[in-house]
Chain A
Amino acid sequence: MPLLKTPCSFRAVYVQLETQKDRGVNRVKLCVNSVTDWVADTGKMWRDAEQALTLMWLLSGISYGMCHSPPGRPRLTTCRSPEKETFTCWWEPGSTGGLPTSYHLYYRKESSLEVFECPDYHKAGNNSCYFDKRHTSIWIMYNITVVASNALGKAYSESVEIDVMDIVRPHPPENVSVTFMQTTNSPYFLVRWRPPRNTDTRSGWVTIKYEVRTKIEMSRKEEDSNWESYSAGKQLEFSIYSPQPGTNYAVQVRCKLDQGLWSEWSPSAFIQIPDNMSDTQNVVMITAVTLTVVIFLLTAGVLTVKMKPVKHFLLPPVPEPKISGLDTQLLKSGKSEEIFSALITPGYPQIAQSPDRQVECLVISDCDEEMDFDDKAHLENQKIENCLIDNAQKVSQNSIQITLNNSQDLNTTLSTVSNQLSATSSVLAEPQQLLHLYCNGSRVKAQDQNTQISYESECENVNINPAGLTGYVEVDKEKQDQKPLVGEDYSMVSDIISGNILVLQDSIPAQGHKEVKCDKTSEAEESGGVFEPLGYLETLTTFSSGS
């Protein structure tokens, strides 16, 4: 069937049909059949192709659906303001969906519904939005959203609310440099830097604070030492003292604005510390310390060997007070009888007088003088005054109280006195002071040999002041019925003149109160001896310091 092979043109088929109607029917049929067959064949071909095409189309359709989709959700990662005047936000894109995707950032300010778009997408790099000064406001909440869109759809990120005051984080400081300064006593290295760029530290809008950290760079990797941080305030340089010699240091600086976040650490600056630093210093120190220790040991040795003499030299012994007749050895032995017998000496008890300058003078009035009350008192007062004046003039500290016995001879009294004085002075280990009493009629002149103090007074009033004696001498009582002046019997005191003078009441009513005169023996015997036969003694105690 050649017709099958060669396509039969349609015209040819028609002609054949026209000329040979009967003869060609078969041929036409054949032709037609062939055409039909041909058509059927091509149809089949077409059908195959169609199927193939559909398949292909379907496949490509499927693959097309898998490669292209609406974009995934982007995510805002961080926003940062380096100087509290501008800020930048970065986001992380989601999936793109195979199609070119564009990102847009929209924001809204607090208390306003108006939506704005990012003013600058390029300044801060890819996937960022830079808000310049005009568009930055502080203390206002920004509500920011990023939208990713492509041909197939859009995707919205989660909204983020920020306030510029919370995202302040400066750039690191710049031009960090380290130099080693070798001074004789304290070597150090000086770190210097410049403030980060674009940060305005001059207007007070931000206050910058720096921090420095150093680390020793070890050649061996395993032993990496730790960083040591130092706060540097607002200054632009910092000194680190006493670095280890022969080591390599790494130094970094960072900063922050007010209460904001710290910047990153600046790149490290390195410095090598030389080796031969302060060796001589060490040697000097060591020798000094060794010398000191040696000297100390020597001194200790000397002290332990020669304890006593050194001790006496440094701390001389203080003289102890001694009581005449009191033997400490005897005391220690504990035999009481011997102690007490040793104690009793003529002139004992000797009571040490208090160190304050107590001057005691006795004023004794002559019983023979007969005066009336007023005159007597006046005379007594005068005598008291004289006594006082005398005492005020004397230089030496203490005086010895002496009672003069009218009936006795003055000389014998004086001898008794000098005996006592010698006794006391021997106890006190002081040189004897001889007293000379000159009694010229009614006048008595006493002269201290050592101090050349002389007193003149009435015979009855004797004031003997040996220098340096601290003894209160109580003279032997010649007469047993002499009672102490006042003692415990203050009932006889009727009045006190000027604080220290006691006026004793005279028991003879005829003489009245304020009688200070002594009375005659005979009268005493008559009245019964309530009072002393000699007379009343007025004890005048004055303090030389003056009261």
Chain B
Amino acid sequence: MTQGSRLYFAVTLMCAFVSIHGVGLNDLLERASQLSDKLHSISTSLTNDLDSHFPPVGRVMMPRPSMCHTSSLQIPNDKDQALKVPEDELLSLARSLLLAWSDPLALLSAEASSLAHPERNTINSKTKELQDNIDSLGAGLEHVFNKMGSSSDNLSSLPFSSNSLGQDKTSRLVNFHFLLSCFRRDSHKIDSFLKVLRCRAAKKRPEMC
């Protein structure tokens, strides 16, 4: 029995070693880009599902996009600016954005099942999928951060204060839609930043871009 447990321990060590040191930065970033791409596409399809039966009054009631809780974060707004940002700052922007959404997505996930919308079930399952993917991506980006070996970990804090979407059905639906649109935009930002990072890390392999 000791032989078996020793073997198991050795295999675990090897796997851990390979997973931390053996996997290159390129592969980590490739995997992270795939996850962020998936996040954005799920949020887009969720938005389309919500739009299919959205009350017109909701569009009037919808808060402005500048009211998203992540709007205070300073991000590059065009390609030239984005390409000038150093890598660790790009990574920390992506991580800050991702971190800012773990609480709100939990709230969305809790409220999805009781939404006043005919596509409620699809919305619920997709929201859960979003939550899972966010967790995986967060873990992956931590690996990337460790691999990049930058000195400081300057994550911006973007607190999300509300803990409920609203009192009545319509306002809950509208706020759900609004939060989702904010998330969709932020997931596109994360995706773009990670893809720039991926291309920069793979200097010798232009097919990665």
Chain A interface residues (CB < 8 Å from chain B)? 84-85, 110-111, 133, 136-141, 163, 165, 200-205, 207, 234-235, 258-259
Contact = CB atoms under 8 A, between A and B. Distances in A.
B196 A205 contact: yes
A141 B62 CA distance: 14
Contact of B185 (A163, A201, A207): A163
A138 B41 contact: no
Contact of B77 (A138, A201, A204): A138
Contacts of B155: none
B209 interface: yes
Contact of B82 (A110, A205, A207, A234): A205
B40 A138 contact: no
Given A165-B188, A234-B207, A259-B41, A137 B77 contact: yes
Interface residues of B, number: 29
A202 B198 CA distance: 11
A158 to B, nearest CB: 13
B148 interface: no
Interface string B185-209: 1001101100111111000001101
Given A110-B64, A139-B188, 19 more contacts: A110-B66, A133-B78, A133-B79, A138-B78, A141-B65, A141-B66, A165-B185, A202-B209, A203-B83, A203-B196, A204-B195, A204-B196, A204-B200, A205-B79, A205-B82, A205-B196, A235-B207, A258-B195, A259-B188
Contacts of B78: 85, 133, 136-138
* Of B79, B83, B197, most A-chain CB atoms within 10 Å: B79
Contacts of A165: 185, 188
Given A85-B78, A258-B191, A139 B196 contact: no
Nearest to A135: B78
A207 B65 contact: no
B207 A204 contact: no
14 contacts: A110-B66, A111-B71, A133-B78, A133-B79, A136-B78, A138-B77, A202-B209, A203-B79, A204-B198, A205-B83, A205-B195, A258-B40, A259-B37, A259-B41
**Interface of B (DSSP majority class):** helix
B66 A111 contact: yes
B44 interface: yes
B13 interface: no
Nearest to A161: B65
B199 A139 contact: no
Nearest to A137: B77
A203 B209 contact: yes
A200 B185 CA distance: 22
A203 B64 contact: no
Contacts of A259: 37, 40-41, 44, 188, 191
**Interface of A (DSSP majority class):** loop
A136 B75 CA distance: 15
A200 B65 CA distance: 29
A174 B95 CA distance: 38
B30 to A, nearest CB: 11
Contacts of A111: 64, 66, 71
Given A85-B79, A140-B77, A207 B40 contact: no
A200 B199 CA distance: 12
Closest 10 CB pairs of A and B: A204-B199, A111-B66, A137-B77, A204-B196, A205-B79, A204-B209, A204-B195, A165-B188, A85-B79, A141-B65
B168 interface: no
Contact of B199 (A110, A138, A141, A203): A203
Contacts of A258: 37, 40, 191-192, 195
Contacts of B40: 258-259
Contacts of B75: 139
Given A165-B188, A234-B207, A139 B64 contact: no
B80 interface: yes
A84 B188 CA distance: 12
Contacts of A136: 78
B64 A201 contact: no
Interface string B5-43: 000000000000000000000000000000001001100
B127 to A, nearest CB: 19
A264 to B, nearest CB: 21
Interface string B78-105: 1110110000000000000000000000
A207 B41 contact: no
Contacts of A85: 78-79
Nearest to A110: B66
A165 B197 CA distance: 19
Contacts of B198: 204
